Structure 1
Amino acid sequence: MPTATLTRLVRPPAKRPAFADRATLRRSLRLLTSFRFEQSDPALFYGGIATDTAELISDFYRDVTGDDLNAITVLDVGGGPGYFADQFATLGARYFSVEPDPSEMHAAGLHVPGSVRGSGMSLPFRDNAFDVCLSSNVAEHIPHPWVMADEMLRVTKPGGLMVFSYTVWHGPFGGHETGLWHYLGGEFAARRYARKQGREPKNRFGRSLFAVRAADGIAWARTTSADVHTIFPRYHPRWAWWLVRVPLVRELLVSNLVIVARKPEVRQAS
């Protein structure tokens, strides 16, 4: 891909996306401080993330299609116990989720009728099934995240929206509960955690946690058939979105990368 095209990908679109107006410093501080509750109070943490995710999807869907989420179908890949379901239902969407781990599906005691067990790397749905396909903080937990990205595009309807958001390995939250020790290596961080806490970390490097770089997402965006709408750092205020454009800086300071893409419309033969 020519450099000019790649530069376009990592810059905001000519028309500022609606979500940029929500991307304030106050929002960033609220989300970043909530991470301390991920293990101790997951309902509080994921509830806030769910609200933010639904707002993000709603804004970008309106940007690329002109429509709201009322009556559209949403697939959440790696939906866990279903914290996002109520937020999308509030916006009128029909919410479905897929999760490979049955213990995760039942972790919060929630009942999500549209939740099925399956792998994000081989989604158990037909082609062109959903208006929106999203994945929030899942890619770093599977060994082949870009296989999942391609699968997400496969099940998205032509003209539909795909939103792929993941934790960047070399960012401050890349090691999850193993803290900043992941900068000395994922295996080192996992062993140190087990030694200090007397148990293995939930997110075990090499098993349920993998090193995914910001550059990996941009490389996928360069080769995908989808129309990449924008790439931005999820938890940053809009005036810091430029960080994505700087190769080394984005690996260290972009804690979560978001790729927003639209599946091309099917062209009718003339």
Structure 2
Amino acid sequence: MTRSRPPYDDPSLRRSLALFRAFLREQDDPDACYALLARDAVDQVEAYDGPVAGRVVADVGGGSGYFTREFRARGALACLFEPDARELGEKPPEGAVLADGYLLPLADGAADVTFSSNVLEHVADPRTFLSELVRVTRPGGLIYVSFTNWLSPWGGHEWAPWHYLGAGRARARHERRTGRPAKHTLGENLFAVHVGPTLRQVRGRDDVRIVSARSRYWPFLTETVVKVPGLREFATWNLLLILRRCPA
């Protein structure tokens, strides 16, 4: 089944506002929020790489499976790899695999598209994680990686934007305000990943080329803002890397 594209362009202010409103309702209506995000992300994959129907997609760290379901709805042969059983929820997609993103149970070059949305900031060793995404992607295949950079307004996740005053203080404030422990702890399941070092790391590889390095949600000049050191750490909000695996 083919899904129609959303009634907005990417990038556009209308699209950004729609996503922002969905994020604000994440706690109250997570299904609507993540279903919209999944449609938007798969639209991006298809914009860079054509229809996903019939193609093998590895969704790495996809949580309860919103992205996997959207890929499958468009005819892709998608499989979810998630390291945390709690994140899979009560009804994960059929065939979901408990697997660490550092060591995926896939052969070299098994996937046409390797997809990772908002995972990189949750791994202690981004270099090894990225290397594994590259390994399982076939030569000529596409790699989609996005992450929330630490200095963006949402860098502290549920305790943002108070992370600018320090992670410990922000976490304590969240717990006082909500009466429950914060989900994320800096240095345990959330890490300070930055745009500049990540770009330098990827550009230093000889097995991938960058198709696009852009802000995932920004409404205009998405690639331009990423080119400005300093500013990009705050304004990018969420870095999207579209990579192409180089021929063997």
The yes-or-no answer on 1:27 pairing with 2:15 is yes
TM-score by length of 1: 0.85
Q: Deviations over 1:44-66 (max 9, x none)?
A: 1111110001101111113xxxx
Q: Which amino acid aligns with 1:57?
A: V
Please say if residues 209 and 246 of structure 2, whose CA atoms lie closer than 8 Å, have aligned partners that are also in contact.
Answer: yes
Please say if residues 70 and 93 of structure 1, whose CA atoms lie closer than 8 Å, have aligned partners that are also in contact.
Answer: yes
1: CA distance, partners of 2:200 / 2:166: 23
2: CA distance, partners of 1:138 / 1:98: 12
The yes-or-no answer on 1:181 pairing with 2:181 is no
The yes-or-no answer on 1:219 pairing with 2:200 is yes
More relative contact order, 1 or 2 (CA 8 Å, 6+ apart): 1
Q: Which has the higher helix share?
A: 1
TM-score by length of 2: 0.92
Query: How far 1:39 sits from its partner (Å)?
Result: 2.4
The yes-or-no answer on 1:165 pairing with 2:153 is no
Quote the residue 2:44 is aligned against.
Answer: 56
User: Structure 1 stretch 74-83 or stretch 86-95: which is displaced more?
Assistant: 86-95
User: Structure 1 stretch 170-179 or stretch 118-127: which is displaced more?
Assistant: 118-127
The yes-or-no answer on 1:231 pairing with 2:219 is no
Superposition misfits of 4+ residues, deviation over 6 angstroms: none
What is the RMSD computed on CA atoms of the aligned residues? 1.6
Describe the SS at the equivalent of 1:52.
Answer: helix
Q: Which amino acid aligns with 2:12?
A: T
Q: Deviations over 1:76-127 (max 9, x none)?
A: 1101111112311222111111111101112xx3341231001112222221
Q: Deviations over 1:131-163 (max 9, x none)?
A: 000100111112112211110000001110001
The yes-or-no answer on 1:193 pairing with 2:174 is yes
2: CA distance, partners of 1:240 / 1:100: 31
2: CA distance, partners of 1:161 / 1:171: 26
Please say if residues 203 and 209 of structure 2, whose CA atoms lie closer than 8 Å, have aligned partners that are also in contact.
Answer: no
Q: Deviations over 1:20-50 (max 9, x none)?
A: 9521110011112211122232111111110
Please say if residues 217 and 259 of structure 1, whose CA atoms lie closer than 8 Å, have aligned partners that are also in contact.
Answer: no
User: Structure 1 stretch 191-200 or stretch 88-97: which is displaced more?
Assistant: 191-200
The count of aligned residue pairs is 240
Query: How far 1:221 sits from its partner (Å)?
Result: 1.9
Please say if residues 121 and 145 of structure 1, whose CA atoms lie closer than 8 Å, have aligned partners that are also in contact.
Answer: no
Quote the residue 2:33 is aligned against.
Answer: 45
1:143 equivalent among 124, 130, 137: 124
Q: Which amino acid aligns with 1:37?
A: R
The yes-or-no answer on 1:245 pairing with 2:227 is yes
Q: Deviations over 1:185-239 (max 9, x none)?
A: 2222112212332221112222211111111221122212201111000001243
Quote the residue 1:7 is aligned against.
Answer: none
Query: How far 1:248 sits from its partner (Å)?
Result: 0.6
1: CA distance, partners of 2:201 / 2:130: 9
